[in-house]
Amino acid sequence: MPIMIHVYNELKIVIKDTLKAIDLSYNNNKIALEDYDEMTSAIENINSYFLSMYGKYTDFDEEVKYMVKSFYDPKVEERGIEKGKIEIASEMIKEGEPMERIKKYTKLDENKILELMKRIESEKVQ
């Protein structure tokens, strides 16, 4: 069993390093949040497969879930905040608020606001 302990410990290091790399890529805008979600899910699936094939060692699966959750949860929160900003900006656009005011209150960049304006305008036409 000592060999398996070593294998599990090595796998934990690889998983943690992989999660850090995924997080860094997301923070550097190299991947989208949807890709981030899929990658972290893949890590959990690989972990589950490994455990089902080679047996369970102590709380290894819980440790991996905790590692994934510790990286994933801030992104979920960030996505929720971004969605809230977009909803507020959309309402402000519908109310005819000026660009500067929308930028001030939502902290969205001008390109994102322009994109929302186009989307809202196209919805009116339909």
pLDDT digits (tens, 9 = 90+) for 96-118: 999 999 999 999 999 999 999 99
| Whether pLDDT at 124 is above 60 | yes
* pLDDT given at position 123: 83
| Whether pLDDT at 23 is above 80 | yes
- Lowest pLDDT segment from 22-36, 46-60, 108-122: 46-60
How many other CB atoms are there within 10 angstroms of residue 73's CB atom? Answer: 10
pLDDT band at 61 (very low <50, low <70, confident <90, very high): low
Cα–Cα distance measured from residue 97 to residue 100, given in angstroms and rounded to the nearest whole number = 8
| Whether pLDDT at 40 is above 80 | yes
| Whether pLDDT at 71 is above 70 | no
- Stretch 47-73: mean pLDDT: 66
Cα–Cα distance measured from residue 70 to residue 67, given in angstroms and rounded to the nearest whole number = 5
Q: Could you give the count of Cα atoms lying within 13 Å of 119 in the half-sphere of its Cβ?
A: 12
pLDDT band at 93 (very low <50, low <70, confident <90, very high): very high
What amino acid is encoded at 108 in this protein? L
